[in-house]
Chain A
Amino acid sequence: MNLLEVKHLKKHYATHKAVDDVSFDIQQGSIFGLLGPNGAGKTTLLRMITGIFYPDEGQILFNGKKFDPENDVRHIGYMPEERGLYKKMMVGEQTLYLAQLKGVPKKEAVEKIKYWFDKFDINTWYNKRIDELSKGMQQKVQFISTILHQPKLLILDEPFSGLDPINANLIKQEIFHLSQQGTTIIFSTHRMEQVEEICDHILLINKGHKILDGSVKQIQQDFKQGLFKIGLGTMPNPAQMATYHFTIVQSHDKAFTVKMNEDSTTNDILLHFIRQDIPVTYFEEILPSINEVFITQVQQTENSRNNVAAAPLT
């Protein structure tokens, strides 16, 4: 079931199109990565999903119904990239206030705060002022206040920026945990290594346009280039490497990265070495990293657009 369906969303500013005809669906309980370079329109897109901005055109369906910011925001937890807390407020009061604004009754909110503060081991901070905490500590408080009202949709914009590895890991585990419990998570970033690790699905946008979307595994399959790494027991001489089935991309110590010929199979490659009695120690497919896909795709759209722009008008 789709928790969120975005259809032909458009948002134009005076000078440029921030989001131009973007559509995608997000399955309930999945972790959805929203990727794009700076200025791609991620924040604008998220602000429309959180009801901060109204789209110029298009539709958002939340839980199968037309998105109603007034009521649906209580089911959304949003940690924007530009985040912060009231510096002079106590940690406890601050989280209580934000939970109450999301419609959680006071008594329930207090219980939940206790639960999460115990879990993150920050109970002693309750009566500390926010500006007495370090930046990493503030991030923890911020994260708790974002999830306190048990949102169905949790939107995290660069959640790990400014966190040390230990706290980043703590938050990451919590994201997985929430996802298992059925929370749908949108994870916006331009840090690709996190995407592969965390996300099920991704949407790549650039300059307001959707470039591609799909599951991480599928995208890696779609963009693989037939690259394999093969480890060998002995180093063969160049004559032994000549074959129709692959070309050498890179040679390592007792290993080669090879590109398979389009009408060959992996067995053809293996047979090539076995026939010559060269022992194969390992053989693995090299899948493109999302980072590579991202860079090539962004560059491609840029080039194609530049070409269009450069083409003479006839």
Chain B
Amino acid sequence: MEKIWLIIKREFITRVRKKSFLVTTLLVPLAFAAMIIVPILLATSSSEHKLIAVVDNSQLFENKFPDSKGVYFKYLHQQNIDSLKQHYEELGYEGVLYIPEFDINRPSGFEFYSSGQASVTMESSINSDINSIIEKKRMELQGIDQAKLDGIRSDVEVTFKNGKEGKKGSSWVAYGVGYASGFIIYFILLLFGTSVMRGVMEEKVSRIAEVMISSVKPFQLMMGKIIGIAAVGLLQFLIWGVLITAIYSLIPLFVSPESMQAAAQGSQAMSQSEQAEVVKRITEVVGSIQWSLLLPCFVLYFLGGYLFYSSLYAAIGSLANEDAADIQQLTIPVTVPIIIGIMIMMKAVHDPGSSLAVWGSIIPFTSPMVMMARLPYGVPGTVPYWQLGLSFVCLIGGFMTTTWAAGRIYRTGILMYGKKITLKEAMKWIVRKP
């Protein structure tokens, strides 16, 4: 027990001390922060004045374009459009909107001049502004009252509730959470699995393996590495969690409240009551996810899946020789089930009740990914307790089997030098006496 602890410690410390650990641990939260801050800063910076000259020969649009997102309109009268086209930049305009006299029933001939291509947002907002102004004018002409029309418009949204208590949920949030956690598990399995494999290969190729095996049991060496790397991963997650929370709460210091507001207004102009409504919806929806069940399940599926696959990766690593190309081939039987898992996960997140999703979430090769995609849809609503239980039992049985079998391949493979080992040969080692 003391030995395995020493091995875990070494695996942990040598990895944590590496520069690459420091870099990834710091870069990921920074990238996360950048993802939040940069759009805000961009939104703020784009709020510089853009002045658009409007030459309105129809007299319909005078003072009707809403100034927003830093775009302002100036209405020019008795201007020669041809001379303005030449000189608008010298006069300080970003562009010129030319509106001819037109027939209200057949509007045409609207033109916009700018030095470069106008942006997509500018194009669409000017188009919709013009259209809505024309629509209003037409309604007036037809004698339709604006208030009446607003009374007719319908804006109903069905509330989807699930379970006997009729909890309010949102399939979109379940979809997002399921997709994200399934994907995270997928990345963990691949990244950490290969990390374990490379560690084993390093031990074998540098010829330290036999020295080690004369002091500790092969199984201890293998499990020490697997647990050590898991600890590194957990530490990294923990640091990310703390840093992301810290950065998130520090964002107001980097970005002034005005620009935050500007950004918020820029993206969606909302009244106070609307904002309150959205906040209420979000809390409701976030509350509809069973976090107290989901988080422990995530940790358990992470650990179970990791143990299941990393021991297989360790076994593959023990078959390595100096030739790195051989290893690429040998990893295929381990990598393919993970990829199948992520594919089933993508289906399951759309249709968590399908039999593919159900069986995918029970068979331990794919269950860590697929079950994480189903769980946010609700337990026991979408995932009955028996399925969750069976999935756990299978996963525990699964990783006990894989670590046992991998340990047997590992202890032979790690001492086998010189010749190329085929997978078929390695399978025979599982049943052979040590």
| Residues on A facing B (Cβ under 8 Å) | 14, 47, 50-54, 56, 73-74, 76, 78-80, 82-89, 97-98, 100-103, 142, 145
Q: Is the beta-carbon distance between B415 and A97 smaller than 8 angstroms?
A: no
Chain A residues whose CB sits within 8 angstroms of the CB of B215 once the complex forms: 73-74, 98, 101-102
Contacts known (A83-B207, A84-B206); A73 close to B434, Cβ less than 8 A = no
Contacts known (A54-B433, A80-B211, A101-B6); A86 close to B206, Cβ less than 8 A = yes
Determine how close the nearest CB of chain B comes to the CB of A77; give it in whole angstroms: 8
Whether a CB of chain A sits under 8 angstroms from the CB of B432 is: yes
Determine how close the nearest CB of chain B comes to the CB of A68; give it in whole angstroms: 13
Q: CB within 8 A of A84: which of B6, B211, B216?
A: B211
Q: Which of B401-434 contact A (CB under 8 A)?
A: 415, 417, 428, 432-434
Chain A residues whose CB sits within 8 angstroms of the CB of B203 once the complex forms: 86
Chain A residues whose CB sits within 8 angstroms of the CB of B209 once the complex forms: 82, 84
Contacts known (A101-B3, A101-B6); A54 close to B211, Cβ less than 8 A = no
Closest to A102 in B: B215
Chain B residues whose CB sits within 8 angstroms of the CB of A73 once the complex forms: 214-215
Whether a CB of chain A sits under 8 angstroms from the CB of B213 is: yes
CA distance A53 to B213 in the complex (A): 10
Whether a CB of chain A sits under 8 angstroms from the CB of B351 is: no
Determine how close the nearest CB of chain A comes to the CB of B326; give it in whole angstroms: 18
Q: Is the beta-carbon distance between B432 and A14 smaller than 8 angstroms?
A: yes
Chain B residues whose CB sits within 8 angstroms of the CB of A100 once the complex forms: 6
Whether a CB of chain A sits under 8 angstroms from the CB of B210 is: yes
Closest to A50 in B: B214
**18 A/B residue pairs, CB under 8 Å, sorted by A:** A14-B428, A53-B434, A73-B214, A73-B215, A79-B211, A80-B210, A82-B209, A82-B210, A82-B417, A83-B210, A83-B211, A84-B209, A85-B208, A86-B203, A86-B206, A87-B202, A98-B215, A102-B215
Chain B residues whose CB sits within 8 angstroms of the CB of A88 once the complex forms: 14
CA distance A203 to B249 in the complex (A): 74
Q: Is the beta-carbon distance between A78 and B214 smaller than 8 angstroms?
A: yes
Determine how close the nearest CB of chain A comes to the CB of B368; give it in whole angstroms: 31
Chain A residues whose CB sits within 8 angstroms of the CB of B213 once the complex forms: 52
CA distance A79 to B14 in the complex (A): 24
Whether a CB of chain A sits under 8 angstroms from the CB of B280 is: no
Q: Is the beta-carbon distance between A56 and B214 smaller than 8 angstroms?
A: no
Chain B residues whose CB sits within 8 angstroms of the CB of A98 once the complex forms: 211, 215
Closest to A49 in B: B214
Q: CB within 8 A of A78: which of B202, B211, B432, B434?
A: B211
Chain A residues whose CB sits within 8 angstroms of the CB of B3 once the complex forms: 101
Whether a CB of chain A sits under 8 angstroms from the CB of B212 is: yes
Determine how close the nearest CB of chain B comes to the CB of A81; give it in whole angstroms: 8
Chain A residues whose CB sits within 8 angstroms of the CB of B434 once the complex forms: 53-54
CA distance A79 to B212 in the complex (A): 10
CA distance A265 to B213 in the complex (A): 56
Contacts known (A88-B14, A97-B6); A52 close to B216, Cβ less than 8 A = no
Q: Which of B181-220 contact A (CB under 8 A)?
A: 202-203, 206-216
Closest to A47 in B: B415
Determine how close the nearest CB of chain A comes to the CB of B2; give it in whole angstroms: 8
Closest to B3 in A: A101
Contacts known (A97-B10, A101-B215); A52 close to B210, Cβ less than 8 A = yes
Chain B residues whose CB sits within 8 angstroms of the CB of A78 once the complex forms: 210-211, 214
CA distance A78 to B214 in the complex (A): 7
Chain B residues whose CB sits within 8 angstroms of the CB of A97 once the complex forms: 6, 10
Chain B residues whose CB sits within 8 angstroms of the CB of A51 once the complex forms: 214
Q: Is the beta-carbon distance between A89 and B214 smaller than 8 angstroms?
A: no
CA distance A52 to B214 in the complex (A): 6
Determine how close the nearest CB of chain A comes to the CB of B210; give it in whole angstroms: 4
Closest to B412 in A: A53
Q: Is the beta-carbon distance between A56 and B432 smaller than 8 angstroms?
A: no
CA distance A157 to B21 in the complex (A): 38
Complex A-B, nearest 10 residue pairs according to Cβ-Cβ distance, in ascending order: A84-B207, A78-B214, A80-B210, A101-B215, A84-B206, A84-B208, A50-B214, A82-B207, A52-B213, A82-B210
Closest to A97 in B: B10
Chain A residues whose CB sits within 8 angstroms of the CB of B208 once the complex forms: 83-86
Chain B residues whose CB sits within 8 angstroms of the CB of A56 once the complex forms: 433
CA distance A52 to B219 in the complex (A): 12
CA distance A52 to B211 in the complex (A): 10
Q: Is the beta-carbon distance between B206 and A101 smaller than 8 angstroms?
A: no
Closest to A88 in B: B14
CA distance A189 to B207 in the complex (A): 19
CA distance A79 to B213 in the complex (A): 11
Closest to A146 in B: B211
CA distance A73 to B3 in the complex (A): 12
CA distance A305 to B3 in the complex (A): 47
CA distance A100 to B215 in the complex (A): 10
Determine how close the nearest CB of chain B comes to the CB of A156; give it in whole angstroms: 12
Determine how close the nearest CB of chain A comes to the CB of B63; give it in whole angstroms: 72
CA distance A14 to B424 in the complex (A): 14
Contacts known (A14-B432, A56-B433, A97-B6); A76 close to B214, Cβ less than 8 A = yes
Q: Is the beta-carbon distance between B207 and A101 smaller than 8 angstroms?
A: no
Determine how close the nearest CB of chain B comes to the CB of A155; give it in whole angstroms: 8
Given contacts A54-B433, A88-B14, 17 further A-B contacts (CB under 8 A): A47-B415, A52-B214, A52-B415, A54-B434, A56-B433, A74-B215, A76-B214, A82-B207, A82-B210, A82-B417, A83-B207, A83-B208, A84-B206, A84-B211, A98-B211, A101-B6, A142-B211
